Amino acid sequence: MTTGPIPVIDFAGACDCHMHIYDSRYPVATGATLRPADASVDDYRRVQRLLGTQRVIVVTPSTYGTDNASTTDAIAALGPCARGVAVVADVTDDELARLHRAGIRGIRLNLTLPAPVSLDDLPTLAARIAAYGWHVELNLPPEWLPDAAGMLAALSVPMVFDHYGHLLLGKPQAESAFRVIADLVSAGNAWVKLSGPYIESLDGAPHYGDIQPLAARYLNLAPERMLWGSDWPHPSAQARGGQPVDDAAVLRTFIGWCGSSDTAQQVLVRNPQKLYGFGDVVPA
């Protein structure tokens, strides 16, 4: 009898809060700049077994614009332990209701790449999704944050900042941007995805040592507002032509940064259970 590798974690209900599905059967949006190789639900299940995660958040990538079919189809295939984050623009009320039934629990503004909406559209979109209990997920240049702070503080829904807020301590804009995020987190209206350390790291694998101080600041600030995501299949790393990302090693590094099993469980289990509405049922 053969057995697979031992999973990195064994926390019941652990959630990978950020991954994407790519499939060449879905039409690519006009002007899309990221076009990774296919990465299927079956491919991701192997990653799940390696990591030991059971819940997952599928995020519509920029590749497909406002076509969320790759995400909703993946949620259906992955089952009740999956939720999703969609991309919308001129969306109808009926479509919002359909997306909610399909497991969508937030909308993403990816403004680091050409996007179908702008930051100016955010207050209107936030008001429209509030009735569903959704959040807005923000992937935006950190230098925008000081000017956007007032608008973000007034939003009627929670917000989630992707990928450590794209901060790298030591860069000129990092401290003022961190303060905006920290104020929103402290006010109880924001979360941060501690995902994709390789995106901003100059040190790189295997330890991403220049990201660790930022992770520590976030975890010390509000561990109850932090999330973790694999960013599988690592589209930005693929686009740069770098070495393949070792998903298990990245998760082990992050757990080490948490400093304790309780903090790791807070980030990996309890926080996503609350934000994404998984309820109290822990998957078998």
Give the residue numbers marked as catalytic.
Answer: 231
Q: How far apart are CA 4 and CA 254, in angstroms?
A: 22
Q: How many other C-beta atoms can be found within 10 angstroms of the C-beta atom of residue 31?
A: 11
In DSSP terms, which residues pair with 19 in a beta bridge? 58, 232
Contact 12, 256 (CB under 8 A): no
Residues in the chain: 284
Exposure string for 70-93, b = 16+ CB within 10 A, e = fewer = bbbbbbeebeebbbbbbbbeebee
* Phi, then psi, of 92 in degrees rounded to 5: -85, 165
Rg of the chain taking only CA atoms, in angstroms: 18
Contacts 24+ apart (CB under 8 A), 138-141: 138/108, 138/109, 138/111, 138/162, 139/108, 139/109, 139/110, 139/111, 139/112, 139/163, 139/166, 140/109, 140/111, 140/112, 140/166, 141/111, 141/112, 141/166
Tokens standing for residue 185: 């987190």
Integer angstrom CA distances of residue 79 from 49, 54, 76, 208:
16, 11, 5, 33
Tokens standing for residue 175: 């401290």
Tokens standing for residue 176: 């003022």
